[in-house]
Structure 1
């Protein structure tokens, strides 16, 4: 069934996203303090090809160029994060005026181009000074984070109306404190559980800090990583149970406390006594916050099987490569329908707020010829994903926006600069920008062009690898 931008409604938000450490560079510029990612990337073997984000996409110096390109594509909104250590080099205490001035200029530059700024307070780059005190494993971080939120709200709240508190807490907690593949590189169950609980508290406390400063103007949300989960052997009791446990960890762990439902421990009883070590009386109430929106951040589905080798969860994810399905440069299955499934799942909660897809994208190779950057697989994925959002909306889901990840190519954490997600190609040797074919397609779509791909499964136009 054909569709166009107009089918989504006049108030739908069309944007792209970025993150401070992945794009800004200027890692020691004008008083910025070090972050855990500055530290982590200095350790050999943590990042492919030992790459780092010290220059990245040089967004700190080239933001006006990138915003001009975003405006040219026809975006109405731009989501970015602030680097906590750029604003508060020690994490607390004295504000770095020059760092805060940068975000002041960035917000003004967005508004000058009719791009609504969406500011994410925390996208994984904790100040090193706070990590030295335990970071997310120190309960004091709840107060530290609230103070940081207050600083940002007081300076930018007169112009920024849309705020996201945390970016994907399960990723920065799990990958950084249990798996050790992201900063700060810890592999310890106790560190994971304490960080997980403190992030849950900070998610709510950060929302309260923003609302106290901006009671009438701000739309306050937070973002969740999520994956549509299916059992490896449908109907097999062990795989079905493993899928429910994985869902509790990957998709429900931060959503349900925000709603006042507590942690989903019925599926994870072994976590109950472990979490009790870090919970204090009243925490169940402190974890709840009435967000104005949730950001749904989905890239793929995962197939789950029972595993006796992974205690607590007793579940393992079956890689796409082993299943013989199309996959991206990240090894993720190409499955745009997962966006529809997760929008449906989150919207089914009583009292769920408005949903927005605040990240959605795919990493595929680019082919540069004749001044053009061809990326047919990414273009097809973008088209299919947007179709899946409309499918959910037509079935009654209150979904109000779509943000492509990402505006430009950038530093992809442990994967370095290999995978490219951007609508805009960056030559990292010259920092030259080129809008890819996917970005040009987005421009045409936002200009009113009709899409002819079907909506049922959203994979009609995908280039198979």
Structure 2
């Protein structure tokens, strides 16, 4: 047993290939406001659409974001963990309903002050804050006014971006307008996944989000000197689950919806070919110029390829197909394909011609718990991260301009419809006590960062 334990330990300690990482490469971690902050009913915060959705009974175990990781009160402890990791940057999101409880109008000073404290704590720890304006928690008050289906939201979002830029722009320079618009559009709460009559609503929704992005970029340019602005996109290979012509055609179509419906107009100035005509009825003169604003970087969230088939009864025909049986899976049944990660980074770098930052990548598990020693030995996560970071290094070797990697996530947290049953964190959350317990992957990632920075600064 001792020999076996030694082999397992040796395997866990192995580091990824880092031979092509440059000295200015950024190592970080990402989180999102609704998933970690808690304090949902404190200090004037308004309800978000996810507060409302959690009350419908459709989230696993009836979990809510009311407390989450209580980051709102424990942010100093969390920043100390970031410092111990050796993070250079931390990507977090502002909760729109915390700073503007009604989405527009009266500003909530207590909410703004929380992010002041967080940013100050990050700077004191030598960690650069990266702000994402929107990570899915739309103020419920705006949803009640039509949400992303109401074109007025373009102005509402611009005003919110202007508020954030004015308040934090002298201390924060990196901003993302949206996190994964391809996901929160395709799987929106405003229309059913199996409602083909909602196809046109989806197209209107996509266009309004793109317009809001452009307006927010302009607002940030007005308020933040030397701002570095980008979009965070969930970019995955979309694979047909069979060689049937209808599945192959559907995979190509969903590739445009999932990966390119936002990145193409924002970085190239036009909608992708397969969905251009469908969105055209919602495009007014001047819209494409309003969307196509100067950007500095592009963020890629990547976990695994997606396997689909054609379902004529589902929105835009998107059906879920079987995955290849011979590909390894994570405990949440996502395929593990680091070569696809490598190829995605190469594709995004070449297609859009901007510096790429991996803004999310990680391993989800339903199996983790404290062992008899009060530890979490998450060897599966370590193996996953090692292989994917090696894939990133291979993309660099092939000429991709990748400049940073942000692991998802710092903490176990509220994982949307999965509630607290799925864990992605480097830090184990004991939810009854809110105690933070670094996993084996925490120490491993710290070693990766130390090795990378040591190797590139020597």
What TM-score do the two structures reach when normalised by structure 2?
A: 0.90
Q: Is the 8 A contact 2:27 2:87 kept in 1?
A: yes
Per the alignment, in what secondary structure is the counterpart of residue 100 of structure 1?
helix
Q: Does 1:435 align with 2:438?
A: yes
Cα 1:34–1:187 shift into 2, 3 Å: farther
Cα 1:72–1:6 shift into 2, 3 Å: farther
Cα 1:121–1:308 shift into 2, 3 Å: closer
Aligned to 1:295: 299
Q: From 222, 229, 254, give the equivalent of 1:246.
A: 254
Deviations 1:4-49 (A, max 9, x none): 65741111110110000000000011111111111111112x1011
CA RMSD of aligned residues (A): 2.3
Q: From 2, 19, 22, give the equivalent of 2:35.
A: 22
Deviations 1:215-264 (A, max 9, x none): x4211111001211333346x65443332212111111111101244211
Q: Does 1:64 align with 2:76?
A: yes
Cα 1:4–1:306 shift into 2, 3 Å: closer
Q: From 269, 272, 279, give the equivalent of 2:277.
A: 272
Distance 1:417 1:4 in 2: 33
Q: How far did residue 305 of structure 1 move?
A: 3.7
Aligned to 1:98: 110
What TM-score do the two structures reach when normalised by structure 1?
A: 0.89
Cα 1:305–1:147 shift into 2, 3 Å: same
Aligned to 1:463: none
Aligned to 2:234: 225
Distance 1:217 1:305 in 2: 45
Distance 1:311 1:77 in 2: 38
Per the alignment, in what secondary structure is the counterpart of residue 246 of structure 1?
helix
5 Å-filtered alignment, 1:307-326, equals: 307-310=311-314, 312-313=316-317, 316-320=319-323, 323=325, 325-326=327-328
Unaligned runs of 5+ in 2: 1-13, 454-458
Distance 1:49 1:180 in 2: 22
Aligned to 2:94: 82
Aligned to 1:415: 418
Cα 1:332–1:407 shift into 2, 3 Å: same
Q: Is the 8 A contact 2:28 2:89 kept in 1?
A: yes
Cα 1:14–1:179 shift into 2, 3 Å: farther
Q: How far did residue 324 of structure 1 move?
A: 5.1
Aligned to 2:198: 188
Q: Does 1:119 align with 2:136?
A: no
Q: Is the 8 A contact 1:119 1:160 kept in 2?
A: yes
Task: Flag the structure with higher helix content.
Answer: 2
Q: How far did residue 128 of structure 1 move?
A: 1.1
Deviations 1:352-405 (A, max 9, x none): 211100000111222422021111111111111111111111111111000000
Q: Is the 8 A contact 2:15 2:448 kept in 1?
A: no
Q: Is the 8 A contact 2:198 2:315 kept in 1?
A: no
Deviations 1:192-218 (A, max 9, x none): 22221100111121111111212x421
Aligned to 1:347: 349
Distance 2:326 2:89 in 1: 37
Distance 1:41 1:137 in 2: 22
Distance 1:226 1:299 in 2: 9
Unaligned runs of 5+ in 1: 451-465
Aligned to 1:461: none
Cα 1:49–1:319 shift into 2, 3 Å: farther
Distance 2:110 2:334 in 1: 40
Q: From 150, 157, 160, give the equivalent of 2:162.
A: 150
Q: Is the 8 A contact 2:18 2:393 kept in 1?
A: no
Deviations 1:386-431 (A, max 9, x none): 1111111111111100000010000000110011000000000000
Q: How far did residue 318 of structure 1 move?
A: 1.9
Cα 1:130–1:240 shift into 2, 3 Å: same
Aligned to 2:363: 362
